[in-house]
Chain A
Amino acid sequence: MAENKEKWYPGEGKLTTGHAVLYIILVLGLISAIIRLFFGLGATTNLNDAYPWGLWISFDVLSGVALAAGGFTMAAAIYIFNLKKFEPLLRPAKLSAFIGYLVFVVGLFFDLGQPWRIWHPMVMWNPHSVLFEVSWCVMLYTTVLGIDILIMALERWKKYELVAIFRNLYLVLVVAGVMLSTLHQSSLGALFLLMPEKMSDLWASRAIGPLFFTSAVIGGMGVVILESLISSWAYNRKVELKLLSALSKGLGLALLVYFAMKVTDLYARGATVWAFDKPHFFFYLELFGTVALPAILLTFSEVRNSIKGLYWAAGLAAFGVVLNRFNVSLTSYGGYRDFSYFPSAIEIILTLALIAGGILIFDWGTRYLPVYQSELTGKTH
């Protein structure tokens, strides 16, 4: 079919147009990052005293972490809920999770006013602070994911005796990963427990912690499905349709549970659900377009068993998680602030560069690390 035509997207061994575009964005991002470090946040971003948190918090931090939830979701499904058939999806999920957390850490680094003090929470403690807990969980969980990636690298270097040592730690890694993820995924929502008066009724909920956790599971599963479909396309691999359609059943279930949670929460708080303004537009888009719609789509076996259907359902679900994080951290304040915020060019370029960098690392990782089962010499673990 496309054998003679040159591919534009990454996946082939050689440099493609897609690679070139990603590298250009990465270089632009690097320049933006240097400008940001030398001139400061005020000069390079559109953040201000009315909007202390902007695109970098909404996307790099909140959305990045939620979309990287695939690592712990798959580990929990396989090792704790004993759904062993999903094992082929575990390693790519872990790789993308690790990259997601890297994006998060780098994004946070540039967002901090004092980036070089990013390590301060390690030694300066405030156990009352939800953000303190989040920073510890993220540090520890990124380490857990790092060890997972290290095991893959050791396998590639054929250092099997070292792999065996780490294998003994496997239970600890799985349990720590699931525990830390449960805590910080929900705690990222709990950050917003302290600002109910500033937020729109639509998102200012006391249940925001469990809501964040559930939607992170959705984001994680959505990304695992998308990532598997896209890499099958890019690396000319056969789509694992049976496996993905089984996983999409789980995604549909999670979406239904999340929809029920959202509706119950809105009803219990007596929020003004029906109105015509900007926040409500984004709210309807989120609840109906990216939670209800993919949930309904996934009830059809035709959707679950077609590549196009899976793309749409998983894509909508993952987009919905991102939209929710933007709504909670930006849209929600629209009625409260007298100012408006739209990210600056540098904020946007740096975020795009983080995404481009993530894709490039993933591409590199899948080619140099034993990520896919067919490449493994030993048993997956």
Chain B
Amino acid sequence: MSKAMLIDTTRCIGCRGCQVACKSWHNLPGERTTFSETWSNPRHMNSNNYTRIIFREVAQPDGKLNWYFVKRQCMHCLDPACESVCPVGALTKLKDGPVVYDDDKCIGCRYCMMACPFQVPKFEWGKAVPLIRKCDFCADRIAIGLAPSCSTACPSQALVFGERGDLLKEAHRRIGAHPGKYYPEVYGEKIVGGTAKLYLTPVSFEALELDHRGFRTDLGNVPYGIYGREWMSKVPWVALGVGGLAVGLFYINKRRAEVQDQKSQEGKED
């Protein structure tokens, strides 16, 4: 069965323990951070930061500020666009859930970065011979029966690791049990064909204004890879059609030229 993670943003306290745990498990370098107009730190996901908490302050009608913490990382789509587009098959969806990347295959074309509907794959721009980097759902930990490092580190059980089916049931149970507390949709249940990361939020993702921050709501429920695969399924027929037509016309032209030659020769004999 496919593993997944239920991210209940109402439980998140914004401690960023998951960010630290991710860095330690993946041996990623720390970096000097600075204050800015947002509490989110670092400012962007990149090849050294596979996950980060987005801090959102949303003003309520009564003037009060509401805090929202939304964890961002690879969504581990059930049918990933990146896997579909990679020309050398460097990205693969494993049976138990993670979408993993093979360092030894990648040619660095960056098509996965262009195609990912969540803009997750990042490039090692600082290196002379760069590779793609992204959250791997701690595939090595899952393989030996451990939970991903971020969910192990989470102190408030905002990151629950488990079977996707079970977690979906749990998500809908929570929505049903606390009608005012949750927005009644699970982000990740259906979007782009479903993802392994399932989000519960108090308000909709539109209201959180995360469209430009990697959580689009207009992606539809069709896996993006389908568009490429549809095209590829037509390729052999186009090849046969064009090839056949070309050969056919070539021979018709040749025959016509021969007939003309013969006629003109016959004309001379007369």
Chain A residues with CB under 8 Å of chain B are 37-43, 47-49, 52-53, 76, 79-82, 111-115, 117-118, 120-121, 124-135, 171, 174-175, 178-179, 182-183, 186-187, 190-191, 193-198, 209, 338
Of the listed residues B107, B125, B225, B253, the one surrounded by the most CB atoms of chain A closer than 10 A to its CB is B107
CB-defined contacts of A131 to chain B, threshold 8 Å = 85-87, 109, 111
Is A133 touching B232 in the complex (CB atoms < 8 A)?
A: yes
CB-defined contacts of B212 to chain A, threshold 8 Å = 338
A133 to B105, CA, bound (A): 17
With A52-B113, A121-B87: A187-B246 Cβ-Cβ less than 8 Å: no
Q: Which of B208-234 contact A (CB under 8 A)?
A: 212, 216, 218-219, 224-225, 227-229, 231-232
Which 6 A-B residue pairs are closest in the complex by CB-CB distance? A113-B108, A42-B125, A40-B128, A52-B110, A126-B89, A124-B88
Listed by A's residue number, 25 A-B pairs whose Cβ atoms lie within 8 Å are: A40-B126, A40-B127, A47-B125, A49-B123, A52-B114, A79-B253, A80-B249, A113-B106, A113-B108, A113-B129, A114-B130, A117-B107, A117-B108, A121-B87, A126-B89, A128-B84, A129-B85, A129-B89, A171-B247, A174-B246, A179-B242, A183-B239, A190-B231, A197-B117, A198-B114
Q: Which of B39-84 contact A (CB under 8 A)?
A: 44-46, 81, 83-84
Is B110 touching A113 in the complex (CB atoms < 8 A)?
A: yes
Chain A nearest CB: distance from B92 CB in Å?
10
B115 at the interface (CB under 8 A from A): yes
The count of chain B contact residues (Cβ–Cβ below 8 Å) is 57
Identity of the chain A residue whose Cβ is nearest the Cβ of B110 in the assembled complex: A52
Is A127 touching B107 in the complex (CB atoms < 8 A)?
A: no
New A-B pairs, 19, CB < 8 Å, besides A41-B130, A53-B114, A114-B108:
A39-B128, A43-B128, A49-B44, A80-B246, A82-B249, A112-B108, A114-B131, A126-B86, A128-B229, A128-B232, A129-B232, A130-B231, A131-B86, A132-B88, A171-B250, A174-B250, A178-B242, A179-B243, A190-B228
CB-defined contacts of B15 to chain A, threshold 8 Å = none
CB-defined contacts of B247 to chain A, threshold 8 Å = 171, 175
Identity of the chain A residue whose Cβ is nearest the Cβ of B107 in the assembled complex: A117
Is B85 touching A81 in the complex (CB atoms < 8 A)?
A: no
A134 to B107, CA, bound (A): 15
Chain A nearest CB: distance from B188 CB in Å?
16
Chain B nearest CB: distance from A333 CB in Å?
9
A124 to B106, CA, bound (A): 10
With A121-B107, A179-B243, A194-B81: A79-B250 Cβ-Cβ less than 8 Å: yes
A175 to B122, CA, bound (A): 41
CB-defined contacts of B146 to chain A, threshold 8 Å = none
Is B246 touching A179 in the complex (CB atoms < 8 A)?
A: yes
A13 to B256, CA, bound (A): 43
CB-defined contacts of A40 to chain B, threshold 8 Å = 125-130
A222 to B187, CA, bound (A): 49
A182 to B236, CA, bound (A): 12
Is A193 touching B231 in the complex (CB atoms < 8 A)?
A: yes
Is B235 touching A133 in the complex (CB atoms < 8 A)?
A: yes
With A113-B123, A130-B231, A132-B87: A197-B246 Cβ-Cβ less than 8 Å: no
B28 at the interface (CB under 8 A from A): no
Q: Which of B89-125 contact A (CB under 8 A)?
A: 89-90, 105-111, 113-115, 117, 119, 122-125
With A128-B229, A194-B224: A179-B239 Cβ-Cβ less than 8 Å: yes
Chain A nearest CB: distance from B115 CB in Å?
4
A71 to B249, CA, bound (A): 18
Chain B nearest CB: distance from A203 CB in Å?
14
CB-defined contacts of A171 to chain B, threshold 8 Å = 247, 250
B259 at the interface (CB under 8 A from A): no
Is B242 touching A182 in the complex (CB atoms < 8 A)?
A: yes
A48 to B123, CA, bound (A): 8
Chain B nearest CB: distance from A226 CB in Å?
26
A183 to B232, CA, bound (A): 10
CB-defined contacts of A197 to chain B, threshold 8 Å = 117, 216, 218-219
Chain A nearest CB: distance from B217 CB in Å?
10
A113 to B90, CA, bound (A): 14
A113 to B46, CA, bound (A): 16
CB-defined contacts of B128 to chain A, threshold 8 Å = 37-40, 43
A27 to B13, CA, bound (A): 57
A179 to B225, CA, bound (A): 25
CB-defined contacts of B229 to chain A, threshold 8 Å = 128
